[in-house]
Amino acid sequence: MSNSNSKNNSSNSKNNNSNSKNNNSDSDSRTIKSSDGSTGYINGSAKLTNGSAKLTNGSAKPTNGSTKLTNGLAEFMNGSAGYTNGATGLTNGSAGYTNGATGLTNGSAKPTNGSTKLTNGSVKLTNGSAKLTNGSAKLMNGLTGNTYGSTGYINESSKLTNGTSKLTNGSTKLTNGTSKPTNGSTNLTNGSTKLTNGPAKLTNGSTNLTNGSTKLTNGPAKLTNGSARYTNGPAKLTNGSARYTNGSAKLTNGSIKLTNGLAELMNGSAGLTNGLAEFMNGSARLTSGLDKFMNGSAEFINGTTNYNNFGVKKNTNGLTRLISLLPEIMNGSTGLMNESTRYTSGLTGLMNGSSSNTNGSSSNTNGSSSNTNESSSNTNGSSSNTNGSSSNTNGSSSNTNGSSSNTNGSSSNTNGSSSNSNESSLNSNESTKYTNGKN
């Protein structure tokens, strides 16, 4: 029994020796692997350290970018407030344009009423022209009668001249007579001179009457031309009023486009504001992800440093956490890209709104230009009416002057007739004196 125990002890001892050798063998192989892996880890650690420095520098840049974005956002908010105030001003301006368009519409009715009055006035002037034409015909008839009367006066003047010749011959025979026939002969000679001058005055009066009749004849023609211009003026005024109405419609359409453009601009501004807010949130997520990445990197470096102290598990945990943080970083980067896309969309909306605003302003400018042109047309129409009125006034003045000339001609004829009557009276007196002297 004791011998068998002794054998068992010996075999146990051998097994222990064998285990000891195996332990030594495992220790050697682990040291070699550990040495190679440590070199790789140390090199990797150096690279991670450099990468960590770069990440640290890179982390500062998003922070600086975030600061700039914050400042830019503040400026944008101020600009947005300015846009809001500008939109209010433009809305008020649009209301003013609408009120102005209403006023222009009401004003458009007034030229139409004025056109009606001008048409009625033209009818009255036409009727007046007809009356003047009739009066001219009557004056022409009177002129013909005056011409016949003038012919009769000339014939009578010839007879008186012949009688004067006979009286002169008789006076010559009585030269040696008494003083009374001599005085009577002298008076008769003076009367004959006056009688000779009388037909000349009558001829001048007839000439004046002819000139007056000519002016009176030309007067109705001028009046007719003035009436035609006066008739054309309302038509131009009506056309100008139509253009003015069209310009007002264009102005109203431009105002509507401007209002729509402002609405799009406000929507774009709101989208831009929201996009910036989301962009800031994405930037914050990215910064947070970078912080977590830096923390994981630090743990990884600590794990690498402690590797020689057989901190394999700690190192693995740091690497695992670093890897687990990568999705968060990627999500933050994706969010940042999405916000950038929204930001771009907001800018596009803002540009479209600005373009609509520009188009609306252009429409308003065109509408204002049309209104200016229509005002010019109305002014020209009024000027045509003024010229027509002036022509009518000139025609009336010509008729008045013609009537005045006729009156003067009639007065000259009357004066000529009066002179002839006076000369006839003088001749009668001289004949009486001559007869008395002869007796």
Percent of the chain whose predicted confidence (pLDDT) is above 70:
2
pLDDT at residue 280, rounded to an integer: 72
pLDDT at residue 429, rounded to an integer: 62
Reported as a single tens digit per residue, the pLDDT across 225-278 is 655 655 665 666 566 566 666 656 666 675 676 676 566 667 766 766 776 676
Q: Which residues contact 306 (CB under 8 A, 6 or more apart)?
A: 314, 315
pLDDT at residue 347, rounded to an integer: 59
Reported as a single tens digit per residue, the pLDDT across 154-211 is 566 566 666 566 666 655 665 555 556 556 566 666 656 666 665 666 566 566 656 6
Mean pLDDT of 278-299: 68
Reported as a single tens digit per residue, the pLDDT across 381-412 is 555 555 555 554 555 555 555 555 555 555 55
Q: Are 266 and 6 in contact (CB under 8 A)?
A: no
Dihedral, CA atoms, 381, 387, 393, 396, nearest 10 degrees? -100
Give the C-alpha separation, 419 to 428, whole Å.
14
How many CB atoms neighbour CB 15 within 10 A?
A: 10
pLDDT surpasses 60 at 6: no
pLDDT at residue 53, rounded to an integer: 52
pLDDT surpasses 70 at 84: no
pLDDT at residue 198, rounded to an integer: 56
What's this model's pTM, rounded to 2 decimal places?
Answer: 0.33
pLDDT surpasses 60 at 299: yes
pLDDT surpasses 60 at 348: yes
25-43 in b/e form (b: 16+ CB < 10 A) is: eeeeeeeeeeeeeeeebee
* Chain position carrying tokens 């006023």: 103
Reported as a single tens digit per residue, the pLDDT across 156-165 is 656 666 656 6
Q: Which residues contact 290 (CB under 8 A, 6 or more apart)?
A: 55, 58, 59, 62, 329, 332
How far lies 126's CA from each of 5, 214, 224, 230, 387, in Å? 163, 21, 7, 10, 16
Q: Which residues contact 16 (CB under 8 A, 6 or more apart)?
A: none
Q: Which residues contact 23 (CB under 8 A, 6 or more apart)?
A: none
pLDDT at residue 256, rounded to an integer: 74
Q: Which residues contact 272 (CB under 8 A, 6 or more apart)?
A: 76, 343, 346, 347, 349, 350
Q: Which residues contact 62 (CB under 8 A, 6 or more apart)?
A: 283, 286, 287, 290
